[in-house]
């Protein structure tokens, strides 16, 4: 898989999602289905998007005891998605179990990536509420290493962390990075943002872009602008 732009389909209904995708007549963007859409519409929405020919990142961020995650991943493996994720905080045992559950009888499986620390968690919250006292950059790198040791394919992280994660975990270890904004756009609730051009320079493999595309007056033009800047 090469560098690409993944559109976050943060919609609350099938109708809105399919109406949005209908606007794309010439290309089939890689899309992300998250908790909001999945819990609203169930697995059928994933099948419908897949049937239209889109590649899919299923962003459900699983985190439970290893046996439960293994069985949940086995159920999700039937959905024919390209990337799926979980929380690295669930431990290496949970990540290994997830990988086992996700692997189909014929040996194929979606790519499995881990969330390190959510970009909504900062140093202060981590120390005061989670009692984790290491610097957040070290925590992110350590979780990425755990994910790699468990056999996972990469992590979700900030574009600002992509370079150090590649240096520590290998150039092939995927970095999938949200928090991307056009230089002339709104940042909304995202704190540490970078442009598609900068994400490319920093070594992100995939950028996840939601509102700058979904809320644009012309989403297809915004998507093309993103692809031109990130993929070239
Ligand atoms: O609209 P925006 O471009 O901010 O959307 C970013 C997407 O990436 C959202 O679906 C959000 O849930 C997701 N995400 C994130 N930060 C993380 C993990 C996921 O923004 N650390």
Residue from 7, 8, 9, 189 to probe ligand 1 pocket by mutation (most atoms less than 8 Å from CB): 8
pLDDT at residue 100 greater than cutoff 70: yes
| Pocket-forming residues, ligand 1, beta carbon under 6 Å | 8, 10, 34, 118-119, 156, 178-179, 190, 208-212
Model's pTM, two decimal places?
0.95
- Dmax over CA atoms of the chain, in Å, equals 50
Q: What is the pLDDT of residue 232?
A: 87
Q: Name all domains of the chain by residue range, CATH numbers in brackets.
A: 4-230 (3.20.20.70)
Q: How many Cα atoms within 13 Å fall on the side-chain side of residue 59?
A: 23
Which among 111, 124, 91, 120 has a CA at the least distance from the CA of 178?
A: 120
Task: Pick from 63, 85, 178 the residue to mutate for probing ligand 1's pocket: most ligand atoms within 8 Å of its CB.
Answer: 178
Please name the residue whose Cα sits nearest to atom 3 of ligand 1. Answer: 210
Residue 122 binned pLDDT confidence (cut-offs 50, 70, 90)? confident
Tens of pLDDT, residues 166-224: 999 999 999 999 999 999 887 776 666 899 999 999 999 999 999 999 999 999 999 99
């Amino acid at each position: 898989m090469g560098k690409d732009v993944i559109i976050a389909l943060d919609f609350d209904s099938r109708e809105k999602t399919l109406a949005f995708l209908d606007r794309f007549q010439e290309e089939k963007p890689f899309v992300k289905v998250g908790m909001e859409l999945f819990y609203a519409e169930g697995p059928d929405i994933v099948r419908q998007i897949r049937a239209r020919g889109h590649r899919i990142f299923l962003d459900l961020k699983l985190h439970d005891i290893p046996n439960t995650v293994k069985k949940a991943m086995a159920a999700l493996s039937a959905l024919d998605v390209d990337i799926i994720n979980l929380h690295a905080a669930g431990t290496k045992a949970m990540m290994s179990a997830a990988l086992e559950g996700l692997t189909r009888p014929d040996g194929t499986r979606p790519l499995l990536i881990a969330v390190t620390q959510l970009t909504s968690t900062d140093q202060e919250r981590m120390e005061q509420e989670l009692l984790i006292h290491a610097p957040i950059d070290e925590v992110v790198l350590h979780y990425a290493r755990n994910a790699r040791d468990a056999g996972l394919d990469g992590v979700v992280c900030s574009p600002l962390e992509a370079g150090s994660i590649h240096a520590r975990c290998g150039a092939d270890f995927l970095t999938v990075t949200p928090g991307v904004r056009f230089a002339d756009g709104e940042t909304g609730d995202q704190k540490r943002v970078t442009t598609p051009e900068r994400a490319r320079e920093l070594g992100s493999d995939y950028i996840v872009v939601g509102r700058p595309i979904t809320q644009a007056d012309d989403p297809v033009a915004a998507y093309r602008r993103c692809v031109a800047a990130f993929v070239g």
